[in-house]
Amino acid sequence: MNILDDLNPEQKKAVMHDKGPLLILAGAGSGKTRVLTYRAAYLIEHRNVNPWNILAVTFTNKAAREMKERIDRLVGYGSENIWVSTFHSTCVRILRRFIDRIGYERSFSIYDDDDSRALMRDVCKYLDIDTKRIPEKSILNAISRAKDELIGPEEFEKNTGRDYMLKKQAEAYYEYQKRLKASNALDFDDLIFKTVELFMTDESALAYYQNRFQYIMVDEYQDTNTAQFRLIQLLASGVNEYGEREYNLCVVGDDDQSIYKFRGANIQNILSFERAFPNTKVIKLEQNYRSTKSILSAANEVIANNIGRKPKTLWTANEQGEPVTYTLFDTDMDEAESVTGEIKRMVDNNQARYNDFAILYRTNAQSRMFEEKLIRKNIPYKIIGSVNFYARKEIKDLLAYMKTIDNGLDNIAVKRIINVPRRGIGAATIEKVDAYAINNGMSFYDALVRCEQIPGLERSCAKIMSFVSIIEGLRSRLYQENYNLTELIDDILDATGYLKELEEEGSDEARERIANIDELVNKLVTYADEAEEAPTLSGFLEEVALVSDIDSFDESEDYLVLMTLHSAKGLEFPYVYICGMEEGIFPSYMAMYSDNPQDEIEEERRLCYVGITRARKRLSLTAARQRMMRGDISFNKPSRFIKEIPEHLLKINMPDRKTMTSFAPDDYQPSRMNYKPFAFSEPKQFAGNNLGELEYGVGDTVRHFRFGLGKVTAITMGGRDYEVTVDFEEYGTKKLMASFAKLTKAE
């Protein structure tokens, strides 16, 4: 059978496209993964393209694994030579081969968020940066945004102007990168940043991969940032035998599902693709195979309110299905009780399994109420977006031992384990070693080896050398013939006494940590069995460093899933509940009162569209008249996204108050406010000193604990708080919420 027989006309056009740039606008559930996999097979079978010359890039390991499995089934022999991987995995493979050309060793470590925070703490301490005034997290966020835009420390410093905070961030950026390089380490953003740097400074490395990857396919293109765009542009800029640029680049994406602006995603990459790559062929995939007509109609109606989008309308040949339900509860407690109760009834009545359901929400904080109800009802569940397995203490400790054995230059890894388990090496000793290493331009580990030369360490040196001996002994075993990674972890546990200490503790927590260590051993065995090349310690550390939380999601296990709307992208479920559909929650308060509310609200609307299109059979939207937020009861209006769905597509439920409040504590009293479900009003403007609640007004000079003195230029009422615009003498104009800013009138 011809593989083209399985495709609809537009999918077929996309698969058969040969030379030149191709933009596939693939709506939710329109079979984009099928198009990419079939296109790879078609190029090999009908265009005689060598599998070696095809690169397919996506964003998650889960998506890459699914794509690779499908290609393997279609192509068979030779498919293993196609590169199918995430952006970060692709860059790691490139850097492992060529990073020495930009001054790093090929055995570089990859820092996760915890490692980066630990390094930034050291940097701030060294530079005497007040982290109460300029938090470490804000500096790391600024550095991440800069790397997304391919802005290095020098250019960042040039752009600081007279801004004190930016100047401090620039100092930290420079020192942070200096220490990363000294540790022969890259953070996550560096993986792409340094690959682009390699290609822009080494023509032979770029030419090698341009020749290698003659056909490039990129999934979820709407989520790319500037650095990723530049990476793909460089790789696709090779010339053919006639010296012509063909840009054999196929990107698949949906501007309506661009929801990662906060991570640096630039929606203009997809909206302006035709300008970046001349003679682009554009194909729209608008037939949805996932959802019912009712669900799809609701999604189309919501997203149509966005202005910054390419026009498209999804349609489906599926059944009409149930109408979308919208339920307004009295309280968030009622909301959680009703949703979890309905799920349990359906499962008890054999209408569904727990893994058919997903509860989605805008922020992680909303999960608590649902968790409490699920536990009481004995419903199995998993939160996607909770603590990553590899972020747990015992796993981080053992990985740090492995990193130290693999790359002794990794200062953060060495510092983490030098006193784990406890060896009597205290903070004062570590500070002296660190200072000696910095002053002498060497790694922390090399300074440990030379501890006898460090003044003031006479009493600690024996303990330090005991640690060094453990590392050197383990490192030497790694090079023994037939020595495998499971033996290495056993030797680490034995040599350090880590496992023995947990066994002696004997607590429930210790037993859980031992079980986690056993699971890490299982992962090592799986890695060794499934590795495409000879398994190595560097390869294992690389694999676990690139794992994301969504990779742990297993659709075959029978548990209910709780997750944020951002985490749900790329997944689908028969039954979906989107909870907390209220103004100030979804769309978020920050989006509503940002400097650019139209763009931010459009991003929130795209997020709503993503949530709606996760549902296959039934979609339930819920809101609450009152909700506990930050310790206070808030009264929020229903989300504007509910209003954007025509009433003929909605089944609106208003539960009886007596029924719903029966779930609440005995002393609970429902709100008596006069509530209008679809009444929306614009924020009111105030001027002068007519606001009794504030001690200052427009035109007054006020003082802020961080920004100093400034003049109030506007005050706006938003919900239950005032938004105050202040022109600060040193920091420029800021928009602040009065209850959080704690502004005081200057005398």
Catalytic residues: 32-33, 219-220, 257, 614
The order of strands in the sheet holding 249-253 is 83-86, 54-58, 215-218, 249-253, 22-26, 281-285
**CA of 108: how far to CAs of 187, 199, 208, 408, 521, in Å?**
10, 18, 22, 10, 23
End-to-end Cα spacing for the chain:
84
- Please identify which residue in the block is written with the tokens 């795209």: 606
* Cα separations in angstroms, 462 against 357, 408, 449, 465: 58, 20, 11, 5
How far CA 186 is from CA of 117, 141, 173, 666, in Å, comes to 13, 16, 13, 55
Residues 134, 168: contact at Cβ < 8 Å? Answer: yes
Are the CB atoms for 443 and 433 separated by under 8 Å?
no
- Stretch (H or E) spanning 697: none
Task: Give the list of residues 6+ apart from residue 449 with CB closer than 8 angstroms, or none.
Answer: 468
Residue 584's nearest CA partner among 613, 624, 620, 612 is 624
* Selection from 530, 581, 592, 533 nearest residue 717 by Cα: 592
User: Which tokens go with 692?
Assistant: 């009794």
Closest CA to 649 of 338, 342, 292: 292
Question: Which uninterrupted H or E stretch holds 276?
Answer: helix 273-276
How far apart CA 425 and CA 454 sit, in angstroms, is 15
Give the max Cα distance, the chain.
84
Helices 113-127, 136-148: inter-axial angle, 10-degree rounding? 110
Which tokens belong to 469?
């001996």
SS3 for 480-538 is CCCCCHHHHHHHHHHHHCHHHHHHHHCCHHHHHHHHHHHHHHHHHHHHHHHCCCCCCHH
Q: Give 714's DSSP letter.
A: E
Contact (Cβ atoms closer than 8 angstroms) between residue 220 and residue 59 = yes
- Residue 396 has φ and ψ, to the nearest 5°, of -60, -40
Which one, of 423, 422, 421, 425, lies nearest residue 499 by Cα? 421
